[in-house]
Amino acid sequence: MKTTFFAFAAILFGELSSASKLYAASYGGSVYSLALTSSNGSHQLSKLAESTECGDSPSWLMLDRDNSVLYCLNEAIGSSNGSITSFKTHQDGSLPVIERLVTPGGLVMSAMYSAPAVRDHDFFAVAHYETSTITTYSVDRARGHFQHLQTFTYTMCSPGPNAARQDAPHPHGVIVDPTGRFVLIPDLGADLVRIFHIHPETGHLEPIEPFVATPGSGPRHGIFWTPKASENTTPEVYFYLVHELSNTLSGWRVSYTDDGISFSRVFEGSTFGNYTAPAGSKVAEIIVSPENNHLVISNRLDNTFGPNNDSIAIFSCADKSGRFFNGVHFLDLFPAYGSSVRGFDIGGSPEMFALALEKSQKVGVTQWNKRLGAPGKLLAEVELNGDVPAVVWDLGPNSPSSGSGGSDINVDVCGS
Ligand SMILES: *[C@@H]1O[C@H](CO)[C@@H](O)[C@H](O)[C@H]1NC(C)=O
Ligand SMILES: *[C@@H]1O[C@H](CO)[C@@H](O)[C@H](O)[C@H]1NC(C)=O
Ligand SMILES: *[C@@H]1O[C@H](CO)[C@@H](O)[C@H](O)[C@H]1NC(C)=O
Ligand SMILES: *[C@@H]1O[C@H](CO)[C@@H](O)[C@H](O)[C@H]1NC(C)=O
């Protein structure tokens, strides 16, 4: 059976107006459509539908809300070839397949970009951790069809300082800069952020000089921050990067030249702030808060709030208005209500925080506390079959972008 519907939840979703939809990926081999419903002040998360068409190890979801297309990466853990599948999304949660393509294995993150002179299609890039590869595709976003374009494969002469994890290059993230002209790929194995210029006429990625991260730090995911538009100021751009192997956050001021981009470090510190990172913890994800003034970071396997209760770290990066860089300051750790938060996404109205609790094999949803700019109390959770690496809100076409988790199709300009 490829698609399972959960009839009770479907009825609920049809009847209650205050319903929001989410998609979650599970290493159990499933992509789920979930509904968050609320009635009389209490929330419930339920399964709407489940598809096994993404493959054995769905690792990342990229939702194109405007075109109702969900792209799922199959990491294919333990086999040499992975795949990318596009699904049409529907109100009832069903996920019919549009297209599937076989690729090198180890797919872990993707992001969309475009080229100014190419009008009839867009592009996306995929980081392949296990196979030291980056691939690119041209995509017809309206229809959800895509074709392979480029493959870059990397090697290293000798292992990095953390020989077990840095035996080879391991591209882990894909981030498009706010001008839409560059793609950044943090490489955990090589301690580099690989940088590509997007050719404006063809959309092809052209490698330029990478920037070098602290040896042994293992750069994993990153996010750009730009101030909320304010008049009469030249917009500044910052880039924030989490390093999985050192549990650190680094901040970089970004400068542009006509055809280049450069980075100068403004911050480097623990993702646990003034607390000590427990042995075995591994930072995973970073986004900018909807208020555009905080960085939201997931620590995994740290058990800060008790056994199997990990932490979300909040740093401030701007003044309260979200307009001006204000240095980087650790604020506090907040409970994740489960083990190993890998992906997360903020969405809804009022905003809510959805967490992929990988090792708890759950999706949880908490309040987003706008006043604190931090996660609030747990509203609902649902158990899924298998470890859960990714979750994304679907609030329908033209819903505000949360700039989160990289699952969003839009360039992740903070709070845009
Ligand atoms: C709604 O919640 C209130 C307060 O918890 C409770 O007294 C009431 O019985 C609930 N109503 C329904 C229809 O469940
Ligand atoms: C399948 O995996 C092999 C080994 O990594 C690779 O050489 C080949 O290109 C992959 N096939 C596709 C279609 O990407
Ligand atoms: C760390 O900082 C937080 C927030 O400023 C504070 O509440 C906490 O007491 C500090 N903890 C330690 C161990 O210093
Ligand atoms: C996690 O810690 C928070 C804060 O102490 C607590 O409210 C919550 O019940 C804990 N959750 C789990 C799943 O342990």
> Is there an atom of ligand 4 within 6 Å of 337 CB?
yes
- Residue with the smallest CA separation from ligand 4 atom 14 is 309
Q: Is 232 in the pocket of ligand 3 (CB under 6 A)?
A: no
Q: How far is the CA of 40 from the centre of ligand 1 (A)?
A: 6
Strand-pair partners of 368 = 375
Q: Is 153 in the pocket of ligand 2 (CB under 6 A)?
A: no
Residue 335, ligand 4, Cβ within 6 A: yes
Distance, CA of 339 to chain centre: 18
Residue range(s) defining the domain that contains residue 337 = 3-412
Instruction: Return the H-helix or E-strand segment holding 198.
Output: strand 192-198
Nearest atom, ligand 3, residue 275 CA:
13
Copy the structure tokens of residue 44: 């419930």
Single pTM value for the model: 0.92
| Domain total in the chain | 1
Q: 305 CB under 6 A from ligand 4?
A: yes
CA distance linking residue 297 with residue 242, whole number of Å: 8
Q: How far is CA 113 from CA 134, 140, 364, in A?
A: 15, 12, 30
Closest listed ligand to the CA of 314: 3
The residues, any chain, with a CB within 8 Å of residue 82's CB and separated by 6 or more, are 55, 57, 73, 74, 75, 76, 102, 103, 104, 105, 106, 107, 128
Q: What is the mean pLDDT of each run of 10 residues along the chain (416 residues)?
A: 62 56 97 93 95 98 97 94 97 96 98 97 98 98 98 97 98 97 98 98 97 97 91 82 98 93 97 95 97 97 97 96 93 98 92 97 97 97 98 71 32 27
- Any idea what the CATH number is for the domain that residue 90 is in? 2.130.10.10
Q: How far is the CA of 328 from the centre of ligand 3 (A)?
A: 16
- Given this model, what pLDDT does residue 18 score? 55
Q: CA 341, CA 324: separation in Å to the nearest integer?
A: 30
316 CA to centre of ligand 3 in angstroms: 15
Neighbours of 116 (CB within 10 A): 11
Q: How many CB atoms lie within 10 A of CB 8?
A: 11
Burial call 208-241: b when 16+ CB within 10 Å, e when fewer: eebbebbeebbbbbbbbbbbbeeeeeeeebbbbb
Q: Indicate the DSSP class of residue 218.
A: -
CA distance 103 to 105: 6
Question: What secondary structure, in 3-state letters, does 312-340 show?
Answer: EEEEEEECCCCCCEEEEEEEEEEECCCCC
Nearest-CA residue for ligand 4 atom 9 is: 337
Atom of ligand 4 nearest to the CA of 377: 7
Q: Does residue 325 have its Cβ closer than 6 Å to ligand 4?
A: no
Q: Is the peptide bond before 350 cis (omega within 30 degrees of 0)?
A: yes
- For a substitution probing ligand 3, which of 270, 272, 275, 294 has the most ligand atoms within 8 Å of its CB? 275
DSSP symbols for 29-64: TEEEEEEEEEETTEEEEEEEEEE-TT-S-EEEEEEE
Q: What is the DSSP letter of 105?
A: S
Whether the CB of 400 sits within 6 Å of ligand 4 = no
Q: What is the residue whose two structure tokens read 């990067």?
A: 241
Planar angle of CA 357, 391, 237, nearest 5 degrees: 105
* Torsion angles phi and psi, residue 58, rounded to 5: -60, 125
Q: How far is it, in rounded angstroms, from Cα 103 to Cα 134?
A: 10
Four-point Cα dihedral 218, 224, 225, 229, nearest 10: 170
For residues 13 and 16, give the distance between their C-alpha atoms in angstroms, rounded to a whole number: 6
Q: Are 158 and 166 in contact (CB under 8 A)?
A: no
Predicted confidence at residue 258, as pLDDT, reads: 83
Q: Is 412 exposed, middle or buried (0-12, 13-18, 19+ CB in 10 A)?
A: buried
Ligand nearest to the CA of 39: 1
Judge if the beta carbon of residue 303 lies within 6 A of ligand 4.
no
CA of 276, nearest ligand number: 3
